[in-house]
A and B are shown apart, each in its own frame.
Chain A
Amino acid sequence: MREAVCIVGCGQTHHVLQRRDVTAPELVHEAVSACLEDAGVSIQDVDAIVIGNMEHFEGIHLSDSYAADGAGAFGRPTFKVATGGTTGSSLSQAAAYLVGGGLYDSVLAVGWERLSDSAGETSTGIITAFDPIFERSTMGGAISGLAIHAGPYAERYGIRPEDAAVVTVQARQNAARNPHAHLRKAVTVEDVVASPLLSWPLRFLDMCPTSDGACAVLFSSRAWTGRHERGGAWIKGLSSSRNHAMLGDVFPGTPTFLNPLKIARDRAFAQAGIEDARRQIDVVELYDPCTYAALEWVEDLGLCGPGEGPSFYATGAASMDGDVAVNPSGGVLCTNPIGATGLVRVAEAALQVRGRAGQHQVAGCRTAVATGFGGSVWHEVMVLGVE
């Protein structure tokens, strides 16, 4: 990057199933105000804003200007980035490039979603991501899309439902210490494997929830940071990659298959000088939409070998005091306001590096990785570290 980029402020709402007491701009205002307070600055110190949500979940067209008052966008350059599940991570990358490319000194990234506004029809908003002629009539939204990847993965390595359930059990334990998390009640392996089957092999407690919430993160240049900083997390590497759009093209083993997480990981880790992920990374805030994805993606990140995801979790390597703490916040399995979800990963990773994660702080965290995941198997990776 031309300019070094630092995260100097993070704010989020308390994520819950439904926030029927506030409008979307009011929800955004809560997160942005918390972020500015965390950074110790005012909206006047912000040069530009990147904002995003997935508009089919709320039915609001041109939502960037709709949320302008909450975001503090009046009179400011404001750009909307909306890429599906990756929206929040895409916002963080856009903000990082706008600062890193020398265009602006301080850029506020704002992600939000009110999944309760689509009145229980969130999956319907996801079905519209798929080809209107060939795929929409036969696809079941997010759950089946994840299930058709989880099934072959489980088959390949003989992964049992109990192995996957461990991920939810750990996530809930961690979320119990995170006041912003949505699902904080402890569950057992037995609870997960006894929960209703949604789409084989995914059961109800293998899946992330739908949440209402917002998150804001402030990115700044070295010069700006020098004037305002209260302890920042520096961006050491970032990249993204995605697969093809149609589901038949994206299966492991097909000639068109790409592994976007590995591609993005390789680029971001090379920039950050990470050669031994398990040794060099302290915390991963992983975008885990379901348990099986978490198992597969800790492998793809290089934290363990192929097929070793279950033992990585089962032996405690992924726990708060393990080799690499995965999702001290509870992760996506506990909190999922979609347009904010990827940005929450970045905020939580930054809080760890800044030593500001409170009850879910991992002691001595110096390097943290945040990931994002979304439509067409799009993965994004950001590496944060101390200066």
Chain B
Amino acid sequence: MTAFHEGRIRIPYKWPAGNVGSAFLEALADRRLLGSRCPRCATVYAPPRSICLQCHVAIDELSEVGPHGTVVASAAGFGLIRLDGARTALVHRTDAPLGARVHPVWSPAPQKSILDVVSFAATGETGDVEYGITPPPPRKLTLPQPVTVLGTACTPRGADRSGWSIPEMVHEVVSDLFARTGFKQRMVDTVITASSDFLDGRTISDMAVQDVVGAPGKSASKVSMDGLFALPYAVARLTSGVFNTCLVVAHAKASSADQRAISRAAFDPILIRPLGVTDHDVLRLQASRMGIADPSIVADGDGAVAILLTTGAGPVSLSEATFATLAHSPGDWDVAAAPGLSPMGPSDATAFMDLSSAQTALWERVLGPGTSLSHQWGFATGLERLATVHEALSKTPGTGLAHAVAGYVGQSQAVWRLRSQ
């Protein structure tokens, strides 16, 4: 075999902080911490938000909060710190444990950056660890007609695909799916792919796979989220009556890049990114709040999943779902409470997207017992969960739940119910 070669690129970025963000950064130079107060619901956000998450109104009222606060999660040198007077928590550096009262340690040379606070140090006292805002429970989506899962195909679990290109990985599962179902490309009416431009290092990441999924000439599209969040679009294309069959394909290739480095780009560029927080750090923060000191974290892998959907009743069908989006920062809502999830009733086969052992316990609390992830495949993880449930229900009739998160600690939640006859 020849050596594998790589393509590389760099892009510089600059992000404005806005009025509220700029006022916060200016105040840091005076060793003051500012929060913002919603004129409608009176929630105090710290760090300050310029738009209320709950009321969707602009906020311009700023006032001083802290400087003391309470650690509401703590792990690996990072913490969520609820400053006195605020409802939400700030992501920052601290070695103080959950429940500790803390005060900011200021930099001697302020730069009007979040790093003007070096860290938060314990005062020796303890405080209340409640924090965050809560949305109403997600509403159930009931499909206007059943949609059948004709078949699924996944990269063999545990297979090493590091030397394969993305189109090669996708071609393997699409070919496998067609072999299992007896379908051919020309029998597929529409295609929805799920992929991440960030994880792939490629703008319009679907361009890598569009030819092998048979998209040219067809009306097709791409959802830039985990595949379980792409399913509503696929289902809607079918229930609209415009299309009869839909191919849904997701892929991920963790071996192409440093996944921890990419995850840093998922955090607020002004308030969190300078701290160097990764996905693993927030997973540990979530676990710490649940009293789990050293959670196991699921390893990244390379994989693709393809599923074929059609309208009408069949052996295994999709019947209902819930979806909810929360907010970007784990400081805004309680990461140990799963506010985007609600109970979905009894299930004979549940598969979670649990990125850590703490998440296993958390999702189980709402959805009941289920099968854990052995590895994660980026945006293909949720469809792999669906394939797992589909496989179980194909053998033993019943109902099942496939679950996925987008964002690392449950910033967005998706649950699909499947039914077999």
Contact = CB atoms under 8 A, between A and B. Distances in A.
Interface string A36-71: 000000110001110010111011111011101110
A327 interface: no
A78 interface: yes
Contact of B232 (A23, A24, A68, A79): A79
A61 B262 contact: yes
Given A21-B19, A83-B204, A243-B216, A76 B325 contact: yes
B143 interface: yes
A188 interface: no
Given A54-B203, A68-B326, A74-B325, A101 B144 contact: yes
A81 B195 CA distance: 10
A77 interface: yes
B13 A98 contact: no
A77 B269 contact: no
A23 B328 CA distance: 14
Interface in B171-198: 196-198
Nearest to B241: A2
A62 B238 CA distance: 27
A121 interface: yes
Interface centre among A75, A124, A128, A243 (most CB of B within 10 A): A75
Contacts of A47: 139
Interface string B47-74: 0011111101010000000000000000
A2 B221 contact: no
Contacts of A82: 197, 204, 222, 224
A264 B201 contact: no
B268 A375 contact: no
Given A26-B51, A103-B144, A20 B16 contact: yes
Nearest to B340: A75
A241 B19 contact: no
A264 B15 CA distance: 37
B221 A94 contact: yes
A37 to B, nearest CB: 12
Interface in B296-339: 323-328
B232 A103 contact: yes
A59 B221 contact: no
Given A69-B51, A80-B225, A132 B202 contact: yes
Interface in B215-246: 215-225, 229-230, 232-233, 235-242
A80 B203 contact: no
A144 B239 CA distance: 40
Contacts, number: 267
A2 B144 contact: yes
Contacts of B14: 117, 119
A80 B197 CA distance: 12
Given A64-B325, A68-B326, A102-B144, A55 B197 contact: yes
Contact of A81 (B6, B143, B221): B221
Interface in A1-56: 1-3, 19-26, 29, 32-33, 42-43, 47-49, 52, 54-56
A263 to B, nearest CB: 6
Contacts of B108: none
Interface stretch (B96-104, B350-358, B405-413): B405-413
Chain A interface residue count: which class? Answer: 35 or more
A292 interface: no
Contact of A77 (B17, B58, B325): B325
B406 A62 contact: yes
A376 B411 CA distance: 32
Which of B138, B143, B206 gathers most chain A CB within 10 Å? B206
Contacts of B406: 62, 64-65
B207 interface: yes
B265 A61 contact: yes
A208 B19 CA distance: 30
Contacts of B238: 101
Contacts of A97: 233, 236-237, 240, 242
A6 to B, nearest CB: 15
Given A1-B241, A136-B9, A263 B217 contact: yes
A77 B207 contact: no
Contact of B210 (A42, A76, A245): A245
B219 A264 contact: yes
A118 interface: yes
Contacts of B220: 240, 242
Contacts of B230: 79
Interface of B: 5-7, 9, 11-19, 21, 49-54, 56, 58, 135-136, 138-139, 141, 143-145, 196-198, 201-204, 206-208, 210-211, 215-225, 229-230, 232-233, 235-242, 262-263, 265-266, 268-269, 323-328, 340, 406-407, 411-412
20 contacts: A23-B17, A55-B197, A59-B13, A61-B196, A65-B328, A68-B53, A75-B324, A78-B323, A79-B229, A90-B222, A97-B242, A103-B141, A118-B12, A125-B203, A136-B7, A242-B210, A244-B210, A260-B217, A374-B204, A375-B204
9 interchain residue pairs of minimum CB distance: A75-B135, A132-B7, A101-B236, A77-B323, A102-B144, A78-B325, A59-B13, A101-B239, A101-B240
Given A23-B15, A81-B233, 13 more contacts: A2-B239, A23-B16, A47-B139, A66-B328, A69-B327, A74-B135, A76-B324, A80-B223, A80-B229, A81-B224, A101-B239, A136-B9, A239-B219
Interface of A: 1-3, 19-26, 29, 32-33, 42-43, 47-49, 52, 54-56, 58-62, 64-66, 68-70, 72-84, 90, 93-94, 97-98, 100-104, 117-119, 121, 124-133, 136-137, 239-245, 258, 260, 263-264, 267, 374-376
